[in-house]
Amino acid sequence: MRQISFSIALLIVAGPVFAGSEDDIIQFNQARSEEALRNLDAGSFDQKYLASLYMGGTRNPRFVRPLGRELLIGLQDPRGPRDPESTEIRIACGAQLNQICPPTATQDPYIKASIAWALGEIGHKQAVPFLKEAMALVTQRIEVDVKRTSDLRAKLPGGEYKNSVVLDRNTAGPAHLRKGYVYPFSPDIHWSEADDFKALGAVDEKDEGHRALMHSYNFVNVAAMILQALGRIRDPSSLETIQAYLDHPIISIRGPAILAAGRQGRSALPVLLAQVDKEKDKRMQARLARGILLIDKSQNAQYKVLITLLKDRDTEVRTEAVFALNELSMGEAVDDLREALRIEEREGLRNLLVQAIQSAERDNILPVNY
């Protein structure tokens, strides 16, 4: 007797009462998808953000091209070569034509990052050309902002920040050079209007533009999310693009690039091994070991690097090592992870260690995976 699907069998048993329910779900999903497409194209900040979450959550390839187009719109730096210290009004807003204009929803880096995330979640190879082009444009913006930041910092007393770019919220940056600065943070390489925004006397939480700027997202965040998306899609053509950022001076870009390369498979192994002797930052050494072991768990030297860094005095270094061991699920690390848990004083990292121990224990139960 020919087998019939469960859904057809259910209709036969249940009769006409439930016959239209599947059609209703299909129509609901179609309506929701059309609404998301409209909002992505012409919606407000909140609407664009929620639309990108919906599209990434459904993982439907029909959304790849709309998301890709929206990702590219407005990525060119709108400021051009204008003197960053100029007092000219960039855009006239409000009744007096002198109010601060936040970035449009289309241009906001928080929206761009959420779109890149959605493309990574969908995971279709048609997204790769959009992500590559966006990465090139975002890199140009970051380079311009790095120069502006460096030029401004060179004027600070002592010139202590002249040759570095820091994303620490408590680090002196261009915003601190402005009169009327009221917020206790200054994320550099930030959206062009952010410093003006932070000089406002008050923030209107009901204002969508203000809420967008309060996320403090910048184009370094966008670059990181694009690299993460390329890593998730795992298209062989992405490796050359990813490789270009393995030496990037900004660690928030270099780190995602390393992990993205580690997700590309065997072809990326020589590329990552070539970085081992170059990398001096311990956090990125842990990230490199993680990427290499994702490809080849027999790379014992890199496993030893992680075990060594698991004992480091720096909390961020230990955290990076624990994240790596948790994802790698290597049973041989159980004893070292338990010892690390015994002496770890930070509660958040203790919770991560518990998860990593559980992952390693599962690996000892399951057959050898390498």
Q: What is the DSSP string of 70-137?
A: HHHTT-S-TTTT--TT----SS--TTTT-S--PPPTTT-HHHHHHHHHHHHHH--GGGHHHHHHHHHH
How far apart CA 323 and CA 202 sit, in angstroms, is 39
How far apart CA 73 and CA 90 sit, in angstroms, is 19
Tell me the percentage of the chain whose pLDDT exceeds 90: 56
- Cα Rg, the chain, nearest whole Å: 24
How far apart CA 233 and CA 226 sit, in angstroms, is 11
The predicted structure's pLDDT at residue 149: 63
The predicted structure's pLDDT at residue 209: 66
The structure's pTM equals 0.77
The predicted structure's pLDDT at residue 114: 95
Place of tokens 């007092």: 87
Domains of the chain: 26-79+93-219 (no CATH), 234-365 (1.25.10.10)
pLDDT bracket for residue 340 (50, 70, 90): very high
Using one digit for the tens of pLDDT, what is the confidence trace for 95-115? 443 344 445 777 888 899 999
Using one digit for the tens of pLDDT, what is the confidence trace for 22-75? 788 889 889 999 999 999 999 988 899 999 999 999 999 999 999 999 999 988
Of 206-215, 275-284, 339-348, the range with the lowest mean pLDDT is: 206-215
- Tell me how crowded residue 281 is: count the other CB atoms within 10 A of its CB: 14
How far apart CA 317 and CA 173 sit, in angstroms, is 26
Query: Does 207 score more than 90 pLDDT?
Result: no
Local structure of residue 61 (DSSP, 8 states): G
Contact 224, 256 (CB under 8 A): yes
Query: Does 3 score more than 70 pLDDT?
Result: no
Judged by DSSP in three states, 159 sits in helix
The predicted structure's pLDDT at residue 89: 33
How far apart CA 340 and CA 104 sit, in angstroms, is 47
Using one digit for the tens of pLDDT, what is the confidence trace for 131-145? 999 999 999 988 877
- Residue length of the chain: 370
* Nearest partner of 360 among 337, 331, 322, judged by Cα: 331
Judged by DSSP in three states, 249 sits in coil
The predicted structure's pLDDT at residue 86: 40
